[in-house]
Amino acid sequence: MKTDDLVALLATQAPPVDRHAPARRFALAWIAGFGAALLLMVLLLGVRPDIADAVRVPTFWFRLGYAATIAAAALWVTARLARPGVRVGGAWAVLAAPVAVGWLAMGWVLAHAAPEAQLPLILGHTWRVCPVLIATLAMPALIAMLWAVRGMAPVRPRLAGAAVGLLAGATGTVAYCLHCPEMAPPFWSTWYLLGMLIPAAIGAAVGPRALRW
């Protein structure tokens, strides 16, 4: 049998590739991670008691949208880094956009606040624990998304690990928004972002080993 004939025979016997398998893998991992983050938030912290009143305040949704937009952009970056030969391109700008909007909101609020009120607006009442709590809630999503990305053969594991960690951090932040009483943009544009960067750093550190294939 000629080589070309053998290749053609093997090709006809190969099972069709499921193009939707990566999307299902990512969806399963994210849903599991977000569900676990919500469960941890409820068990360890609890939903804020005035949630019914908080949802009527526009800042609550602005803050939630900040975290959710970073999560969506980080998911896009992660999905591109998980596939060999795919360029991230403009996804970096999309990821930076909500961070920049948060900083602009912080600058606007601080510019219109009295000098003696500026530091309290940044620190709030929970700045010492906020980043640590976000990072804690992010751990299930970090583990789940590392599993999802590992099965897709990333060629830049450290960068992919950092993107996974940022996605996990933003996912944990979305859950944390249901507990956190801090509503001022100077607070959450600072400490929420730091909380997201902690699992991003962890992801970058473990990426070369956890995403090895």
Write down the pLDDT at residue 37: 97
pLDDT digits (tens, 9 = 90+) for 149-201: 998 888 899 999 999 999 999 999 999 999 999 999 999 999 999 999 999 99
pLDDT digits (tens, 9 = 90+) for 103-144: 999 999 999 999 999 999 999 999 999 999 999 999 999 999
Greater confidence (17 vs 132) lies with 132
Tokens of 102: 């948060």
- As a whole number, mean pLDDT of residues 35-57 equals 96
Q: Does the structure show a pLDDT above 70 at 87?
A: yes
**30: exposed, middle or buried (Cβ count in 10 Å: 0-12, 13-18, 19+):** buried
Write down the pLDDT at residue 10: 47
The domain spans of the chain are 21-210
Cβ 131 vs Cβ 182: under 8 Å: no
